[in-house]
């Protein structure tokens, strides 16, 4: 039996706890809106029911636009790996980006929807030129975590120029 390979991470960051909290918020919000709707139907309060439905639709549209996601970034001496999935869905679509560090040629952190939606776009050198990975949601990362990611990526870019 082969011994397990020990991977020494230079940098490791994830938001597992925070993303779990957002998933629970997503589920509890659905239950709360559904409960309110049933209550207003049972008590024959039409205007309150309509207001609840409009509020719920707006809330879930905004929640899905912001795309709160589990985010994990792992950096070794040679590789960069980003694992992520949206927590604003009951179906988990696990995705991953992996590249050798020397392939990274740029990154961009964008904000939209009044600063609530934040995305990370990684640019890599490929045989066809520079290519961008699709944006990865970092909306629920804390400000200092986003700064750490930017610092690690900037350091990687500096090392690639040498």
Answer yes or no: are the C-beta atoms of 147 and 131 closer than 8 Å.
no
Rg (alpha carbons) of the chain, rounded to whole number: 20
pLDDT reported for residue 2: 47
pLDDT reported for residue 7: 60
Ranges of the chain with pLDDT below 50: 1-4
In a domain, 4, yes or no: no
Say how far apart CA 30 and CA 32 lie, in whole Å.
Answer: 5
Answer yes or no: are the C-beta atoms of 113 and 66 closer than 8 Å.
yes
Q: How many Å separate Cα 6 from the centre of its chain?
A: 27
In a domain, 130, yes or no: yes
Q: How many Å separate Cα 126 from the centre of its chain?
A: 25
Tell which residue, 103, 149, 155, has the closest CA to residue 130: 103
pLDDT reported for residue 126: 85
| CATH number of 156's domain | 2.30.29
0.85 cut: is pTM over it?
no
Number of structural domains found in the chain = 1
Kind and range of the H or E run holding 37: helix 16-42
Count of H-run helices and E-run strands, the chain: 3, 8
In a domain, 1, yes or no: no
pLDDT reported for residue 5: 53
In a domain, 137, yes or no: yes
pLDDT reported for residue 8: 67
In a domain, 3, yes or no: no
pLDDT reported for residue 159: 87
Residue 112: give the domain boundaries: 9-162
Answer yes or no: are the C-beta atoms of 161 and 105 closer than 8 Å.
no
């Amino acid at each position: 039996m082969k011994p397990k390979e020990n991977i020494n991470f230079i940098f490791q960051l994830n938001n597992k706890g925070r993303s779990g909290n957002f998933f629970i918020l997503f589920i509890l919000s659905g239950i709360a809106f559904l409960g309110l709707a049933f209550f207003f139907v049972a008590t024959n309060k039409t205007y309150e029911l309509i207001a609840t439905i409009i509020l719920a639709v707006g809330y879930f549209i905004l929640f899905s636009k912001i795309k709160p996601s589990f985010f994990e970034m792992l950096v070794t001496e040679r590789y960069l790996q980003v694992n992520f999935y949206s927590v604003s869905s009951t179906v988990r679509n696990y995705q991953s980006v992996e590249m050798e560090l020397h392939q990274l040629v740029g990154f961009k952190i964008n904000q939209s929807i009044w600063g609530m939606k934040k995305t990370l776009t990684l640019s890599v050198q490929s045989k066809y030129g520079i290519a961008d990975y699709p944006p990865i949601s970092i909306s629920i990362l804390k400000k200092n975590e986003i700064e750490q990611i930017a610092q690690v990526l900037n350091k990687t870019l500096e090392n690639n120029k040498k």
